[in-house]
Amino acid sequence: MRAERFRRIAGRRVLFVMAAQAEYGPFLQARFQPLMTGIGPVEAAIVLTATLAELDHDGLLPDLIVSLGSAGSRVLEQTKVYQATSVSYRDMDASPLGFPPGVTPLLDLPAVLPLPFQIPNVPTATLSTGANIVSGAAYDRIDADMVDMETFALLRAATRYKIPLIALRGISDGAAELTHVGDWTAYLHIVDENLAYAVDRLEDGLNSGIIAL
């Protein structure tokens, strides 16, 4: 990955990370070129960690990583964009060994990891990451406002290199049961435009110093 794929904002190197080309519409294309990881926590962790290792070797680590794309929710407004205030890992369940669900055994981290930076004028919500598509009654088992498949993994990689991460997610589905891929992609063009607006607010926050890295 070359340094020119960073977006320079307020003198900072910002690395935007996305999972799927379907989420990267014309509004976002006008603002940055993302690192594409592929879908799911495994792909996200592999691709971002390898990229950061290369950048670290070249002395070009980013100052900020932004995870963005779509998410599911049955409680949040569809197509609207939310900034995650925290993220958890719903796949981890070592409760038969006495560990609370979401806590990775022998790792000194809580089940829910905070994401402290706040973008002005972007609403907030809690986020759960996992490898499964959540639909219908499966939301009953989710202790978060919205679900995605990458952010927790990206945060763990970013933390390894002491890089802050901001997560922006547009709600693409969740109001109704999912039956085919078109239920996910139907409103991605609106999510794209709303994510671009949130990226503009991020830029405003960095330029004004409200978001101080």
Q: What whole-number distance in Å separates Cα of residue 73 and Cα of residue 147?
A: 6
For residue 21, the 8-state DSSP code is G
For residue 205, the 8-state DSSP code is H
pLDDT score, position 2? 52
Q: What whole-number distance in Å separates Cα of residue 33 and Cα of residue 16?
A: 7
| 151, HSE (Cβ side, Cα atoms, 13 Å) | 30
Parallel, antiparallel, or unpaired for β 81-89 and 165-173?
antiparallel
Parallel, antiparallel, or unpaired for β 146-148 and 7-9?
unpaired
Tell me the pTM.
0.93
In the numeric block, the tokens 């022998």 are attached to: 106
pLDDT score, position 18? 98
Mean pLDDT, consecutive 10-residue stretches, the chain (213 aa), reads 74 97 97 97 98 95 97 96 97 89 88 94 97 91 95 97 98 86 88 97 96 89
Yes or no: say if 150 and 122 are a contact pair by the CB < 8 Å rule: no
Three-state secondary structure call for residue 84 = strand
